Structure 1
Amino acid sequence: MTGATGFIGAHFVERALAAGHEVIGLYRSNGPKHRADIERLTARGARLHRGDILKPESFADALRGVDCVCHFAAAFRESGADEAYFERMNVKGTTNVVKAAVAAGVKRFVHCGTAGIYGQRVAGTIDEQTPIRPWNSYERSKLAADERVRTLASEAGMEYVILRPTAVYGPRDERLLKLFRSVAKGRFPLFGTGDGRRHMIYVTDLADAFLRACTTPLAPNRELIVAGPKAVPLREMLQTIARAANRSAFGPCLPLGPMLALAAVVEDTCKVLKIKPPIYRRRMDFYLNDAAFDSRQAQRLLGWQPKVDLAEGFAATLGALRQKRPTATLAQAYVAVSLIALLAGDY
C-alpha cells in the first residue's frame, strides 16, 4: 500500500494487520511528524519502506510477490497548489504505481478516489449513476487518476476497484483539527444558515471497506461510493460535536456574504505576495456544500456496513484530540488575518 503514514493509510494498516494480513507499506517522509507512526506500525508487524510515487525505482521492488496494491498516497487540497501540481502528484503518481503493479504481476489494484467528483452542491441523493461534476483541481485530478487506473488495469488484465469515500474524519485527522477544537471551546462560527447536508464517514469504517475491496470476490472492476450512516445539515453536525464536548453551543452564527468577499481578497493578495493564504475561496466551500450519498451498492458488493454514527465518532475524535497539545500554525503569523483564519478553521 502507498501512503502508509497518512491519516487513512495508517488506519488501514492497523485494520489489515488485525485481520492477519501481511502489509508492506510505502511512505514518503520519515520526518518527526511521521516517525511515531512508522515506529508504531512497524512494531505491530508492518513492513514499511520509504518511497516516492513520482520515482518508480524507489518502490518497484517492494511490489514483488504481493497480491493486492491499495493506493492512498495523493495530494489533498493543498492551498496555493496549481492544476499542474495535482496533475503531477495524483495522475502521474497513480499512473506510476499502477504500471509498477502490472509489471510485478499484482492481482488486484484498489484505488482511493473521492466522492467529491459528483459535485459539492447536488439536490437529492448521489449514487454511482449521478453525473460527474468535479469542482476543483483536486477533484479533477482524482477523476483523471480513476481513468488511468481503469484503463491501465483493464489493458493488463489486472483487477481494479475504485472506492470513492465521502468526507473522512476520526482520530489523528489534522484536516479538521481546528474545527473540533473551536467547537469544543464554543468558538466556532457558523457563516450562513447551516442547512447544507454533510455526509461523513468514520475512518475505521472506511479502512474496513478498503480491506474488503482488497479481498472480496464481487468487488473487482467496480467504482463504488463509500459513505457513513447518514447525511446531516451542517448546523446539526456542529451541534453534535458540541454535545460530545459538553458544550451548550458551538459558537456564533454570522452572515456568510462578507466572509466570502474577505476570503477572495486575502487569497488574491497572498498570491501577489507569493505567500500561503491563511484563508481562501475553497476553504469557504465548507459553508456552501450540500450533498448526500447512497452507498448501498458498496454495502451489497463488499458485504460492508458503516458502524460508527456521528455522536460516537465525534466523541472518539475529541477524546483523541484532548491527548494532543495544539500547535501553532502558519496562519497565526499574520496578525489581523490570522484571527479570521482561526475562526474559519482549516478545512
Structure 2
Amino acid sequence: MSLQPHDDLTGARVLITGGAGFIGTALRTALARAGARPALLDNLSAYGPTTLTLLGTGPTDPDLTVGDINDEPLVRRLVADADYVVHAAAHSSVHGCTTDPQTAVRSNLTGTDTVLRAVSGARNMRRFLLLSTAQVYGHGAPHTPRPEQAGFFTEDQPLDPLNIYANSKLWAERHTRQLLGVAGRDYTILRPFSVYGPGQVPKPGAASWVVAQFTMYAALGQQLLLNNGGHQLRDFIYRDDVAAAIVRSLTAPRAAGQTLNLGTGTPTSVRQVAEHVRRHFPAADIVDAPRVAQDPLGACADTARMHDVLDWSPAVSVTEGIDRYVQWVRTTPNAIPDWMRGETSTSRITSWRVPASL
C-alpha cells in the first residue's frame, strides 16, 4: 500500500478491540508498518494458546491488554488514550452465535454499546471504524447488470440478515450511526466479504471458512464436503488486503460517515475453491452435502464505492491466496486443530445443524 499525504499515521495510537484475532493481528502488523502505535484489547476467548502463538500474540504480548469490552472503566481508559479505534471484537461465527446466543448478545450488542459510548465521549478521537460483515445482505437481491454476469451486493440495497451473527452486526451498524451521529464523532463502517489467509484456523461448525476448512481436511486425507453442491458464491478477500484497507480507511477523508464493502468484486463458487485445493491434494474426494442452515447463497461485492472513496484495490487474487494458504498449512502442520483430526463427514454434517432448542 502506497501512503498518500493524508494517510500519515506516524505516532498515532490505534486501539483494536478483538486485536488478538485473525484480522486484528494482521491489522497490528499493517499499522506498525505505517508508523502507528497499535494497542490490542482482547479477552483471548476465541482461540487456544497454539493458535494465538501462530497469530503472533498471547498473554505476554506487550501490545495486548487482556480484558473484556464489557468492562466499562477499562474500555473508557483505553479509548481515551487512542486517536483511532477499530472495533473488531465479536462473537464471530454464525455457528457460535446460533448455539450460544447469550454470548453473542453480550459481546456483539452490549460490548459494542460499551465501546461506542466510550468513543462518543472521547474528545481526541479522530475516527471510529466498525468492522461489520457482508453477512448483513443475507440472500439479498443481488444487482445483476447483465444476465451473463454474477450478481453483486451494493451498500445501499435492502439488508436481510439470516442469522444471529449477521443480525447483531446490522444492529451494530445502526447503533454506530445513531450514537456517534448524535455525538458528532467521525466514523466509518466496513463490510468485509469472505476473509481468508495464513493464520486462519477454523472453529467447530464454522462451515463458511471454506479455504481453511478444505485445505486442512485435504491435508488430513478427509473428504471435502460441498454444502448445496458448492453453488454458493463468495467474494474471497485476502487477510493482508483487508488489513491494508482498514489502515487506508482510518485516514481517507472521504471515508467519513461511509459504509463500504471490502471485497475484490470477483465471484468464486465454493466448488471452485474445493477444486483449486484438490490441485494441491489430488487424492482429496469432493462430495456433495446438504446446505448448512442460515448459510447465505452469496454474491460478490460491488466495489465501486470502495475504489472511489479509498483509491485502493486488493492486491492478491483468490488463486494466489489459496496457494499461499496451502503452503502455510504444509509448513505449519500444528495449525490444524486437534478437533478436526477426529472428525468424520457424518460428524461434520451433524455439527452444522441448527439446534432445535437453545
- Structures share a fold, TM > 0.5? yes
Residue equivalent to 2:261: 225
Q: Give the aligned partner of residue 66 of structure 1.
A: 82
Superposed displacement of residue 2, structure 1: 0.6
Give the residue type in structure 1 aligned to 2:168: S
Residue of 293, 296, 317 corresponding to 1:281: 293
Consecutive aligned runs of 4 or more in structure 1 exceeding 4 Å deviation: 37-44, 342-347
Q: 5+ residue gaps in structure 1? A: 261-279
Q: Is the 8 A contact 2:198 2:324 kept in 1?
A: yes
| Corresponding position: 1:110 with 2:144 | no
Partner of 1:36: 53
2:175 to 132, 145, 148: 148
Rounded to whole Å, the distance in 1 between the matches of 2:341 and 2:55 is 28
1:252 to 283, 286, 302: 286
Q: Aligned letter for 2:110?
A: K
Matched pairs, number? 314
> How far does residue 128 in structure 1 lie from its aligned partner after superposition?
0.9
What does the per-residue CA deviation read over 1:256-279, in whole Å, with 9 as the maximum and x for residues that have no partner? 4xx46xxxxxxxxxxxxxxxxxxx
In structure 2, the residue matched to 1:341 is 347
Hey, what's the Cα distance between the residues in 2 that align with 1:343 and 1:140?
24
Aligned mates of 1:289, 1:51 — CA distance in 2 = 36
Verify the 8 A CA contact 1:161 1:221 in the aligned structure 2. Answer: yes
Residue 231 of structure 2 aligns to a residue whose secondary structure is coil
User: Structure 1 pair 35/317, CA: closer, same or farther in 2 (3 Å)?
Assistant: closer
1:102: how far off? 2.2
| Alignment partners' CA distance in 1, 2:78 and 2:226 | 47
Task: Tell me: CA distance 1:121–1:186, structure 2 relative to 1, closer, same or farther (3 Å).
Answer: farther
Root-mean-square deviation over aligned CA pairs: 2.9
Contact 1:183 1:238 in 2 (8 A): no
Partner of 1:317: 325
CA contact (8 A) 1:188 1:344 kept: no
Structure 2 letter corresponding to 1:233:
S
Q: What TM-score results when the alignment is normalised by the length of structure 1?
A: 0.81
Aligned equivalents of 1:310, 1:65: Cα separation in 2: 38
> Larger deviation: 16-25 or 30-39?
30-39
Q: Distance in 2 between matches of 1:344 and 1:222?
A: 40
For the structure 1 residues 188 and 38, does the alpha-carbon distance in structure 2 shift closer, same or farther, using more than 3 Å as the test?
closer
**Identity over the aligned pairs, expressed in percent?**
27
Which of 72, 97, 112 does residue 94 from structure 1 map onto? 112
- SS across alignment from 1:253: strand
Instruction: Please list every run of 5 or more consecutive structure 2 residues that lacks an aligned counterpart in the other structure.
Output: 1-15, 143-150, 203-208, 354-358
Could you report, residue by residue, the CA deviation over 1:233-258 in whole angstroms, capped at 9, with x for unpaired residues?
22222212223x2x34752333x4xx
**Contact 1:75 1:89 (C-alpha < 8 Å) held by counterparts:** yes
Name the counterpart of 1:54. Answer: 70
Residue 120 of structure 1 pairs with residue 146 of structure 2: no
Higher helix share: 1
SS at match of 1:164: strand
AA at the equivalent of 2:193: T
CA 1:183–1:332: 2 relative to 1, 3 Å: closer
SS in 2 for 1:172: coil
**Is the 1:14–1:41 Cα contact (8 Å) retained in structure 2?**
no
User: What per-residue deviation string (whole Å, max 9, x for no partner) do you get for residues 167-204 of structure 1?
Assistant: 11011111244321223447313354433322111111
Please say if residues 178 and 345 of structure 1, whose CA atoms lie closer than 8 Å, have aligned partners that are also in contact.
no
2: CA distance, partners of 1:27 / 1:34? 14
Paired residues of 1:239 and 1:250 also in contact (CA < 8 A):
no
Given the superposition, is the C-alpha separation of residues 34 and 96 from structure 1 closer, same or farther in structure 2, using an over 3 Å criterion?
farther
Superposition TM-score, scaled by structure 2 size: 0.79
Is the 1:229–1:308 contact (alpha carbons within 8 Å) kept by the matching residues of 2?
A: no
